[in-house]
């Protein structure tokens, strides 16, 4: 558990990586196979890229558009933020895209019980200065109508760095399918610090999935409708090299709090 907290600082940017299992002695020599699929334009119209500027540093997070004015992200992504630069409407970060909109904001609401040590209540909201105009490529997502159950297929997405050794973000938004695991199973790896308001996700055992798109969305499809069931919160201190699950803040237990803040 010692390294649990430090992990969010090590992996302060968002990444999705899937790699073939290789013997450990190969790991540092062999470039890993980076997986996840490229998202297509318009696939995740709620996905926000957030550059957070604090008094000390600048870092990248994901987020999800919840309404024309509010973006949901992780608490540690807004904590101490002075200015947020937010990109919406494009699956790419930097390639030319006429659908991209870039806005800035300084207003955020951090969950009052956010605990940076235990990473409990790792949830926060950013308010845009003006309501954004919705387009084919910019649409809000929906809060869940039911809890996220154990061993459900979910989708994680992000622009995060694609390997432990490559601090660069991916220009193209990537996504990968994983499963929610039970908190009992996750506690066997991370201990009792896994609270009921967290959920861990993991890929196939023969694949090894590592996700750490801090602040980014965890999506469950019910029919064809995506629901925002989680927010990326932490990854194992062992990093992408490990097959340890990654941790998310469940959104369902926070729906009343979110609604009280954003007034929907
Ligand atoms: C999910 O797993 C937990 C143990 O972590 C268990 O207490 C709970 O009953 C399970 N939920 C369902 C719906 O089976």
Q: Is the per-residue pLDDT at 6 higher than 60?
A: no
149, 180, 182, 188: residue to mutate for ligand 1 pocket, most atoms within 8 A of CB:
182
Euclidean distance between CA atoms 103 and 125, whole angstroms: 15
CA–centroid distance, 150 to ligand 1, in Å, is 6
Closest ligand 1 atom to residue 150 Cα is 1
> To which H or E segment does residue 188 belong?
helix 183-190
Top-confidence range, 149-163, 173-187, 237-251: 173-187
pLDDT at 26: 27
Helix H segments across the chain?
A: 6-10, 75-78, 183-190, 255-262
Q: Is 146 in the pocket of ligand 1 (CB under 6 A)?
A: no
Identify which of 206, 208, 203, 120 has the alpha carbon closest to the alpha carbon of residue 164: 208
Q: Is the per-residue pLDDT at 88 higher than 80?
A: yes
Q: Is the per-residue pLDDT at 193 higher than 90?
A: yes
Q: Per-residue pLDDT tens for 109-152?
A: 999 999 999 999 999 999 999 999 999 999 999 999 999 999 99
Closest ligand 1 atom to residue 187 Cα is 5
* Residue nearest (by alpha carbon) to ligand 1 atom 13: 149
* Residue nearest (by alpha carbon) to ligand 1 atom 14: 150
Q: Helix or strand or coil: residue 183?
A: helix
Q: Is the per-residue pLDDT at 2 higher than 60?
A: no
pLDDT at 207: 43
Closest ligand 1 atom to residue 147 Cα is 13
Mean pLDDT for all residues in the chain? 83
Euclidean distance between CA atoms 88 and 48, whole angstroms: 5
Answer yes or no: are the C-beta atoms of 253 and 121 closer than 8 Å.
Answer: no
Which positions ≥6 away from 233 have C-beta within 8 Å?
A: 8, 74, 76, 119, 122, 198, 214, 247, 248, 249
| The pair of three-digit structure tokens given for residue 261, joined into one six-digit string | 């803040």
Answer yes or no: are the C-beta atoms of 116 and 12 closer than 8 Å.
Answer: no
Q: Is 183 in the pocket of ligand 1 (CB under 6 A)?
A: yes
Euclidean distance between CA atoms 72 and 63, whole angstroms: 6
> To which H or E segment does residue 177 belong?
strand 174-181
CA–centroid distance, 255 to ligand 1, in Å, is 20
CA–centroid distance, 120 to ligand 1, in Å, is 20
Identify which of 195, 196, 251 has the alpha carbon closest to the alpha carbon of residue 220: 251
* Residue nearest (by alpha carbon) to ligand 1 atom 10: 150
Model-level pTM? 0.85
Q: Which range (90-94, 149-153, 183-187, 200-204) has the least confidence?
A: 200-204
Count helices and strands (H / E) in the chain. Answer: 4, 16
Which positions ≥6 away from 202 have C-beta within 8 Å?
A: 178, 179, 181, 209, 243, 244, 245, 246
First to last CA, the chain: 38
Q: Which residues pair with 84 in a beta bridge?
A: 52, 105
Q: Is 180 in the pocket of ligand 1 (CB under 6 A)?
A: no
Percent of the chain with pLDDT strictly greater than 90: 66
Euclidean distance between CA atoms 147 and 168, whole angstroms: 34
CA–centroid distance, 32 to ligand 1, in Å, is 34
* Residue nearest (by alpha carbon) to ligand 1 atom 3: 182
Q: Is the per-residue pLDDT at 180 higher than 60?
A: yes
pLDDT at 163: 63
Q: Is 221 in the pocket of ligand 1 (CB under 6 A)?
A: no
Average pLDDT over residues 25-53: 70
Q: Per-residue pLDDT tens for 61-80?
A: 999 999 999 999 999 999 99
């Amino acid at each position: 558990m010692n390294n649990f907290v430090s992990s969010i600082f090590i992996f302060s940017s968002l990444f999705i990586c899937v790699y073939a299992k290789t013997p450990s002695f190969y790991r540092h020599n062999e470039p890993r196979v980076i997986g996840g699929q490229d998202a297509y334009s318009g696939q995740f119209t709620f996905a926000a890229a957030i550059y957070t500027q604090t008094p000390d540093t600048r870092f990248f997070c994901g987020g999800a558009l919840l309404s024309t004015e509010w973006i949901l992200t992780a608490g540690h992504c807004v904590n101490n933020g002075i200015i947020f630069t937010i990109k919406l409407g494009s699956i790419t970060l930097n390639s030319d895209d006429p659908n991209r909109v870039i806005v800035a904001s300084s207003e955020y609401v951090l969950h009052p019980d956010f605990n940076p040590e235990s990473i409990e209540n790792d949830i926060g909201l950013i308010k845009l200065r003006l309501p954004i105009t919705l387009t084919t490529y910019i649409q809000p997502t929906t809060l869940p109508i039911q809890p996220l159950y154990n061993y459900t297929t979910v989708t994680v997405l992000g622009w995060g760095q694609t390997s432990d050794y490559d601090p660069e973000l991916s220009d193209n938004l990537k996504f990968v399918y994983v499963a929610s695991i039970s908190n009992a199973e996750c506690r066997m790896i991370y201990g009792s610090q896994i609270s009921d308001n967290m959920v861990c996700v993991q890929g196939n055992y023969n694949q090894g999935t590592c996700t750490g798109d801090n602040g980014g969305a965890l999506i469950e499809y019910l029919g064809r409708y995506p629901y925002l069931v989680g927010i990326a919160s932490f990854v194992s201190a062992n990093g992408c090299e490990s097959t340890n699950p990654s941790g998310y803040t469940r959104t369902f237990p926070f729906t009343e709090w979110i609604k009280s803040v954003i007034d929907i």
